[in-house]
Chain A
Amino acid sequence: DTGVSQNPRHKITKRGQNVTFRCDPISEHNRLYWYRQTLGQGPEFLTYFQNEAQLEKSRLLSDRFSAERPKGSFSTLEIQRTEQGDSAMYLCASSLGPAPYNEQFFGPGTRLTVL
């Protein structure tokens, strides 16, 4: 069990560019969650998957944000046409079954800086 991994750990981009982050959950975890954490705030739920199905995406911040989990294993979060307000830490978590009954295990996050 190597835990939840996220890549890259840091990303610096210019406004208007597209960025993609990857999350590798703990193997055999069928639930995967994305959160955003801005400076001085707690995590904010974005979306989650059960296997490859995206079950909740109404909390994605705008249509510039999208997430996929094509084979039910790793997931990607893409932000198109980045804005300075997108600068934040993007966290991924996974759980063996549905939360909150199953603990969510969090990755270390990807810190995005938009210049």
Chain B
Amino acid sequence: AQSVTQPDIHITVSEGASLELRCNYSYGATPYLFWYVQSPGQGLQLLLKYFSGDTLVQGIKGFEAEFKRSQSSFNLRKPSVHWSDAAEYFCAVGASGGSYIPTFGRGTSLIVHP
């Protein structure tokens, strides 16, 4: 069975500071990995995804994530946070075979101080 752990419920950063959101997954083979952002009243938006290949993935809005198989991690990073990045961030994992049924983490709430 696949699972996702986002160990941080809340993260607070100052505007302009760097950001790293943690995600650990459990899956027997190479999974499909995703990061989504959810702003209040908005639907989830895909930031980036990893299927295979280069383990450093670039996404939208200046985000990137790195797949580390040895650590079963897929952490999300941004070098300089903007106030508009305040939102809920979800990591998700999907099986690489069969019907695609994703498993989401519980989310990390990002608070940005001016």
Of the candidates A56, A105, A107, A109, the one whose C-beta lies within 8 Å of that of B99 is A56
Q: Would A108 and B100 count as touching, CB distance under 8 A?
A: no
Instruction: For A59, list chain B residues within 8 Å (CB).
Output: 101
Of the candidates B4, B43, B103, the one whose C-beta lies within 8 Å of that of A107 is B43
Instruction: For B49, list chain A residues within 8 Å (CB).
Output: 100
Q: Would A108 and B104 count as touching, CB distance under 8 A?
A: no
Q: Would A100 and B100 count as touching, CB distance under 8 A?
A: yes
Q: Would B101 and A56 count as touching, CB distance under 8 A?
A: yes
Whether B41 is near chain A, meaning CB under 8 Å from some CB there, is yes
Cβ proximity bits A93-110 to B, threshold 8 Å, 1 near / 0 not: 100001110011111110
CA distance A7 to B32 in the complex (A): 31
Cβ proximity bits A6-41 to B, threshold 8 Å, 1 near / 0 not: 000000000000000000000000000000000011
Per the CB 8 Å criterion, the residue count for chain B at the interface is 24
Cβ proximity bits B1-21 to A, threshold 8 Å, 1 near / 0 not: 000100001000000000000
Name the prevailing secondary structure of the A interface residues.
loop
Cβ proximity bits B89-109 to A, threshold 8 Å, 1 near / 0 not: 010101000011111111100
Q: Would B101 and A45 count as touching, CB distance under 8 A?
A: yes
The residue in chain A whose Cβ has the minimal distance to the Cβ of B104 is A42
Whether A43 is near chain B, meaning CB under 8 Å from some CB there, is yes
CA distance A91 to B88 in the complex (A): 15
Whether B70 is near chain A, meaning CB under 8 Å from some CB there, is no
Task: Spell out A's residues near B (CB within 8 Å).
Answer: 3-4, 40-45, 55-56, 59, 91, 93, 98-100, 103-109
